[in-house]
Amino acid sequence: MCQYVEPLYSMDINVSVLPLLRASYLDRFYAGVPTKWSEVAGDYVKRLGGLFKARHFDLLWIEKELFPYIPAWAERLLASSGVRYVVDYDDAVFHSYDLHRNALVRKVLGKKIDSVMRHAAVVVCGNSYLAERASKAGARRIEIVPTVIDLQRYLMLEPAVAQEFIRIGWMGSLSTVKYLRAVASALQTTSTKIPLKLIVVGARCELPGIDVEFRPWSEDSEVEEIQHFDIGIMPLHQGPWELGKCGYKLIQYMACGKPVIASPVGFNQEIVQHGLNGYLANDVDSWREALEELCADADTRRRMGERGRISVEKMYCLQKTAPQMARIFHSIAG
């Protein structure tokens, strides 16, 4: 959301940002360090205080929900007191509650996000799966705006002329590293034929038989990390949570001119044009075939990477969606 602040300002929309959690929370999360719950509690209190200023603004823009794991009291109170808000989803966060392993969480919070959606002036969704949930929740207005990157930040670099191995890149977190394990056997088999290294950014995991290099994630370095990949991968399982994903990793890889391999799940199937800007692979054999073809042919990697960049320029960049978001905000705020 923060990447929209500057372009929206140029369209006569001033945005004040009030993040829920401090930056150190993310630093600890990606480093695998335990959360300081006293800090989280303090951040919740700070946001609660900030809501008293909501009436001074024409519109409140909420990412997913105001207070995770607390019922939608704040959102309902805002709506009943005449504060108009837009809520934005690029993940199936409702499944954090309605599919939770704890029965009490399912009972108390299973319909929380539906309530948030129902009371919003507009629900902005990153894909059709999220939009369908908003429709079932009774949202009065739904807009589909894909997840995007800033073209000025994501630049293509010329690949190294000579290198000892192919760099297969994956970016994620401790909660998503399970997807990487699902393609470990395909990576291992490919590595016996072609020298490769798996670059894992943002998490650690043991993958026997594969040369793995772990890299810490940070917002400042993530683009540079991707620029040094040869191929970007996004494996997923087939499940409700995965259907809500908006392919952000794929868009990041493609923006840097990298060919991609992805599981044909949810929005991945719309981003990846099979055989043009990457490959869709649904089992171990198809993952191995895609890996071997891209690893063996630098020209194919280059062509697919260039097409991927064009796809991002046409559909998945801030330069295309910022005017759309501005129109949505102006239509509500008047």
Residues sharing a CB contact under 8 Å with residue 194, sequence separation 6 or more, in sequence order: 166, 292, 295, 296
Q: List 309's β-bridge partners, or say none.
A: none
Distance CA 234, CA 95 (A): 21
Per the structure block, which two tokens stand in for 148?
């995007």
Distance CA 79, CA 54 (A): 11
Distance CA 260, CA 272 (A): 8
Nearest by Cα to 253 from 195, 299, 311, 184: 311
Nearest by Cα to 189 from 283, 99, 121: 283
Residue 105 above 90 pLDDT?
Answer: yes
Question: What region, left, alpha or beta, does residue 209 occupy, with left being phi > 0 and alpha being psi -120 to 50 degrees?
Answer: left
Residue 160 above 70 pLDDT?
Answer: no
Contact indicator for 278, 249 with CB cutoff of 8 Å: no
State the pTM of this model.
0.92
Strands 212-215 and 231-234 turn out to be unpaired
Distance CA 204, CA 225 (A): 16
Residue 161 above 70 pLDDT?
Answer: no
For the stretch 16-51, pLDDT in tens is 988 888 877 777 776 667 878 888 888 899 898 888
Which of 3-7, 214-218, 226-230 has the highest mean predicted lDDT (pLDDT)? 226-230
Residues sharing a CB contact under 8 Å with residue 87, sequence separation 6 or more, in sequence order: 62, 63, 64, 65, 75, 116, 117, 120, 122, 123, 124
DSSP string, 282-332: -SHHHHHHHHHHHHH-HHHHHHHHHHHHHHHHHHSBHHHHHHHHHHHHHHH
Write down the pLDDT at residue 1: 77
Per the structure block, which two tokens stand in for 154?
């994501």
Contact indicator for 269, 246 with CB cutoff of 8 Å: no
For the stretch 70-82, pLDDT in tens is 999 999 999 999 9
For the stretch 227-281, pLDDT in tens is 999 999 999 999 999 999 999 999 999 999 999 999 999 999 999 999 999 999 9
Write down the pLDDT at residue 162: 63
Report the amino acid identity of residue 249.
K
Distance CA 1, CA 14 (A): 13
Strand order in the sheet with 142-144: 60-63, 85-89, 122-125, 142-144
Round the average pLDDT of the chain to a whole number and report it: 93
- Mean pLDDT within 42-62: 89
